[in-house]
Amino acid sequence: MSSRDTTPSLYHRTGTQGSFHQHLALPTRTKRGQSFNRDYLHKKLWKFFRLVRYAVRVCLIVRKYAIESSHNNREQLYNNSEILFDLSNFRRPVEETIGRNIRKLLKSDPATRTDDDIRMIVVGLGQTVSSFTEFPLQRQYALARVAILEEFERGRVILREGHRAEKFYLIVDGITNVYKLRENPTTHVFNSRLVAVLKKGSSFGEVALINAHRRTATVCCQTDVSMLAIEREDFVKIFMANDRETEPDFISFLRQIPEFRGFPIDKIPHDSPHICQVVYYRMGTLMSKDSNEDEWIYVIRTGSCRVIKALTQVTPKLITRKKPKVIYDNFGTKRASQYSMEALGTFNKPKSPIKPAKCYTEIEQIREKSVFGLVSVVFGQLKNALSVTLVSDGAECIRIRKSFFIKMTPEILFDRLRREVRPYVTDDELQKKLQREVDWTAYKHLLVKRIYERNARNRLITFNY
């Protein structure tokens, strides 16, 4: 019995001791398990995040290639001639030169040309020479009726400086060089100098015909050249036509101009080109080189013109109150930074003397019913009067000689024009205005550059941080 009692008691004590040890060790094992579970879950979670990140990258790459492939397929669809077609393939190609039939018609006698021939010439020249379409349609047909095609070989002189003006030329094919004689101030020897190169579509000779002057330059063929030639009489009829009716159209037009109210318009001779002319100027034609020296008053009937002035080109002059940055060289010498001074505009390098170049500025643009040339007539030769240049943008003008206008204008009209006509500003004021404009433009560029460099420097500091 005792053994049985002792055994169960020992067993019970042992069991009690085991449960006690288990009770003591249980919390330690639980903490280890919890930390183990946390690490395990943390690793699993990071693996999941990596997989998600890789999956997102793969999706972005697939999306990128899908978009590129769709664009390529779309371009292939547009370029596939079996499904779609390009309308430009069905258009008539632009001809580079006139055809044989047009050349044959232009070389024939103008008196034998029919209306169908003239219509064919207008269409052919309009397709090959774009500048021919700048003329009004009525003048295109008039040119096609009287123009003769002349061909010159390479090196041939078409006209010489100082000769009498006989024809007006429009280049159809080829390239020509324009030379002018210049006198050497030291040797007093005249030399030819290339001043311009004229290509297809350019014209020359109209200024000498309009002003009844001699040729001011020599034109020589650089390549084989084909051009339309119009005689002086035909040119005057087409571009300087004066109606011989009792009341021509340009006389009725002058009655609508406010500056001519009170002027005896009835006394203007209709058939005297030395006093009054109706002239058409192509785009880019120099109408008046010097407004003070020109002998004509220009009344714009149709189109527009530009009034320009040649000024001396200037450089920006920036003034700043900031001090230049001070740096030290390898020897410890204190000096100003050249870069900072140049950026602030306070550092002036010794520059070699350069001949000042010219630049042209547009003062105003005059249109229909505008009058050019009254300033010198009304105010005479003013002190420091501005001399301007008139260039055509494709305009038909009525020209009246200044001497006739001064002779026929009553004193009452002169008094009214002195109050209404506004003279141009002087050269000094235009130069100052140009200097301010150049300084303001340079300051804006410098300010934008500083702001950009400052923002780039701030972004770099933020990124490094």
pLDDT at res. 305: 92
* 99: confidence class by pLDDT, cuts 50, 70, 90: confident
Q: What kind and span of H or E run contains 142?
A: helix 137-146
Is residue 91 assigned to a domain?
no
Which residues are within 8 A (CB) of 234 and not within 5 positions of it... i.e. 6 or more apart?
Answer: 146
Most confident of 98-112, 183-197, 241-255: 98-112
User: Could you tell me which residue, 383 or 141, shows the higher pLDDT?
Assistant: 141
Decide: helix, strand or coil at residue 231. strand
Query: What does the pLDDT look like over 7-21, one tens digit per residue?
Result: 444 444 444 444 444
Residue 169 shares a structural domain with residue 72: no
Exposure of 459 in the CB half-sphere (CA atoms within 13 A): 6
Please provide the DSSP assignment of 382-441 as one string.
Answer: -TTPPP-EEEEEEEEEEEEEHHHHHHH--HHHHHHHHHH--PPPPHHHHHHHHHHHHHHH
pLDDT at 58: 86
Kindly tell me the sign of the dihedral angle through the C-alpha atoms of 155, 157, 161, 167. negative
| Residue 315 pLDDT exceeds 50 | yes
* Claim to verify: residue 345 and residue 377 sit in the same structural domain: yes
Higher per-residue confidence, 68 vs 257: 257
Instruction: State the pLDDT at residue 311.
Output: 87
Picking from 51, 151, 54, the residue whose alpha carbon sits closest to that of residue 106 is 151
**Residue 349 CB coordination number (10 Å):** 7
Give the residue carrying structure tokens 């300051």. 443
Measured distance CA(398)–CA(245) in Å, rounded: 17
Structural domain of 377: 268-409+422-448
Q: How many Cβ atoms sit within 10 Å of the Cβ of residue 105? A: 22
Whether residues 312 and 443 share a domain: the answer is yes
How many whole angstroms separate alpha carbon 155 and alpha carbon 157?
A: 7
What's the whole-number average pLDDT of the chain?
Answer: 77
Residues 210 and 303 in one domain: no
Looking at residue 27, its pLDDT comes to 46
What does the pLDDT read at residue 328? 54
Predicted local confidence at residue 16, as pLDDT: 45
Q: Do residues 429 and 403 lie in contact, with contact meaning Cβ atoms separated by under 8 Å?
A: no
In a domain, 151, yes or no: yes
Interval 32-58 mean pLDDT: 79
The CATH number that applies at residue 391 is: 2.60.120
Domain match, 229 and 128 both: yes
For 165, other C-beta atoms within 10 Å of its C-beta total 20
Query: Does 300 share its domain with 200?
Result: no
Quote the percentage of the chain above a pLDDT of 70: 74
The arithmetic mean of pLDDT across residues 413-429, rounded, is 86
Asked whether residue 202 falls in the same domain as residue 274, the answer is: no
Are residue 62 and residue 176 in the same domain, yes or no?
no
